[in-house]
Amino acid sequence: MSLSLSIGPLVSLIAGILILVMPRLLSTIVALYLIVIGVLGLLGMHTLRI
């Protein structure tokens, strides 16, 4: 059996949970998510899997 997770959905899940717990973090979490996705896109790692 093989387990494969994509980075995008995993980060989205963690960000969603943090926003529910601490709504004040919304802008910070969104900014960090966009920066990470942008950097991965520029480096050609948009299909990175763990």
Distance CA 37, CA 33 (A): 6
Q: Per-residue pLDDT tens for 2-46?
A: 555 567 777 778 878 888 888 887 888 788 878 887 887 788 765
Token pair, residue 1, equals 């059996």
Q: What is the structure's pLDDT at 41? A: 77
**Which pLDDT value is given to residue 49?**
55
> What was the pLDDT predicted at 46?
54
- Name the token pair of 35: 């920066």
Q: Kindly report the pTM of this predicted structure.
A: 0.51
Q: What is the pLDDT of residue 36?
A: 80
SS3 2: coil
Q: Put residue 3 in one of left, alpha, beta given phi > 0 → left and psi -120 to 50 → alpha.
A: beta
